[in-house]
Amino acid sequence: MNPLPLDEFVSLDFETTGVVAGRDEIIEIGAIRFRAGREVEAFETLVRPARSLGRHISEKTGITMAMLADAPAIGDVREKFLGFLADAPIVAHQARFEVSFLRSVFGVGPREVYDTMILARAAGIPARGLSAVAAALGIDSPVWHRALPDARAAGLVYLALPAVSPVDPVAASPRRILPSRASIEETLSLLEEGLLLEEIASRRGLAASTIEGHFERLLSTGRIPIERVLPAERISAARAAWEAVGWEGLLTPAYEAGGGKIPYRDLRWLRAWRMTEKVAGER
């Protein structure tokens, strides 16, 4: 059993037009949320690029321009994907690739990222490719180089990895990027000055999604009330959506219960605030 303390994580895979974030484009997103070792929710979409695919990409993935013609543009899936991702730790194979596109395309800020290739090497599995590492662990997939199957395989590889000793698998990961306490405190200081989220992000030179994560941590520890970051009508809307599906439910059903009109961050923030011991004691 893998010793890393991840009760919940999102395994992620992108298929793209090339390998350079900022120049190349995402054409397919696959993400799976695992909780307590089980797959509980999935996100999958093709994405229409601005430019044509190279033939080698179509040959590798099986994705063609005809398949992408009616797919949504990246801007049309951004909020739903980020809402699914939330602030969960990420598991990916050769994760530097996914991290580079997360930052370039979505502006995703600090979070934990675990690379199954690095972890597999630390466990004594020398294979590099996802299919080879999976095969070494007895994991198969009906297809490779498609986003959702590859994301599922990466998650299963993570769960199947044996205990790693004496190598620290977290240290071996290419990135373990968490917001520092000092960074969150700086955000809190600016919030107390009356600045809004976008103003704080601009002042600090950080992505808005990073500041959203800071707010969520401050809410989840009871350091700020929900009223500090959301107006009453948005709190009421988010509360009604959660009550429709249950507070222990998943984000996507809550989003759908709200008619797809409630920002994912409102739902995340309200649940984070509600789940604090302080709030629980007041109910």
Max Cα-Cα span within the chain: 60
Per-residue pLDDT at 240: 94
Per-residue pLDDT at 198: 81
Per-residue pLDDT at 216: 81
Q: Is 17 in contact with 48 (CB distance < 8 Å)?
A: no
Per-residue pLDDT at 196: 84
pTM equals 0.64
Each domain of the chain, given as residue ranges in start order, spans 8-177, 181-282
Summarize pLDDT for 23-65 with one digit per residue, the tens: 889 999 999 999 988 999 999 999 999 988 989 999 999 999 9
Per-residue pLDDT at 180: 62
**Which pLDDT tens digits describe the chain residue by residue (283 residues)?**
444 557 889 999 999 998 888 788 999 999 999 998 899 999 999 999 998 898 999 999 999 999 999 999 999 999 999 989 988 889 999 898 898 899 888 888 667 888 898 888 888 888 889 999 999 999 999 899 999 999 999 999 999 986 443 333 343 343 444 456 777 888 889 888 888 888 888 888 776 767 877 888 888 888 888 998 899 999 999 999 999 988 877 777 888 888 888 887 888 888 888 876 444 444 4
Summarize pLDDT for 138-150 with one digit per residue, the tens: 999 989 999 999 9
Q: Which class is 8-177 in CATH?
A: alpha beta
Residue 12, beta-bridge partner list: 31
Q: Which CATH fold would you assign to the domain 181-282?
A: Arc Repressor Mutant, subunit A (1.10.10)
With the C-alpha atoms ordered 202, 205, 209, 212, is the resulting torsion angle positive or negative?
negative
Per-residue pLDDT at 126: 82
Q: Is 11 in contact with 127 (CB distance < 8 Å)?
A: no
Per-residue pLDDT at 171: 36
